Amino acid sequence: MADVRVAVLVSGTGSILDAMLGEDVPVALVLADRRCRALEIATDAGIATELVDRQDFGGFGGGFDRWGFTRRVKDVLVAHDIDLIAMAGFGTVFARPLFDAFPSRILNTHPAILPAFPGWHAVEEALAAGVETTGCTVHLATVETDAGPVLAQEEVPVLADDTVETLHERIKRCERQLYPRVIKDYIESLMGTAPTPGS
């Protein structure tokens, strides 16, 4: 498993990254699109870090150069000899060049049972819809956001007094358990010891 080099893409607190490290996922690089706590976690663990700052590509407004940003991230990942990418709360949507460079090698976790509630506001939308259960999905990332093949899902009940914050925290606890396990299984499949997930 150590022969597969995993890059974890982060934007926030690093709680999912922390869970991956606790489960011995072979993380070779942590890449962020903004300065965040996750980079500190990686540094403390002795893992290489890269910051490809969105602000250098137009920031968060309508002038954002998505293709330029994507090409820069792709070049960094290639330079680090990355085999598998795991997005962990990463806040930027990529353009096609990254998916062309890493076909079926980009994993993501999403706080809903896809195909329900794709997009950035999945927890809010689940609460607004009044569903009794939601959960998390680990899937292959594709150019179309949250539409790639599902690798694993786990349900989380919606409680009567839930807020966006309380529900999201329970979903995150689920993600922190499910995602590292799925990544390790996917690594085994890449090494030829198991069928490729989603095939």
Alpha-carbon distance of 152 to 30, in angstroms, equals 23
pLDDT tens figures, 19-68: 999 999 999 999 999 999 999 999 999 999 999 999 999 999 899 999 99
Summarised one tens digit per residue, pLDDT across range 148-169 is 999 999 999 999 999 999 999 9
pLDDT class of 1 with cuts at 50, 70, 90: low
51: β partners: 32
Evaluated on CA atoms 84, 87, 88, 90, the torsion sign reads: positive
Q: Which of 80, 110, 139, 168 is catalytic?
A: 110
Amino acid at position 161, single letter: D
Peptide bond preceding 115 in cis form (omega within 30 of 0): yes
110 catalytic? Reply is: yes
Q: Give the domains, in start order, of the chain with CATH numbers.
A: 6-108+138-150+179-190 (3.40.50.170)
| Averaged pLDDT for residues 79-108 | 96
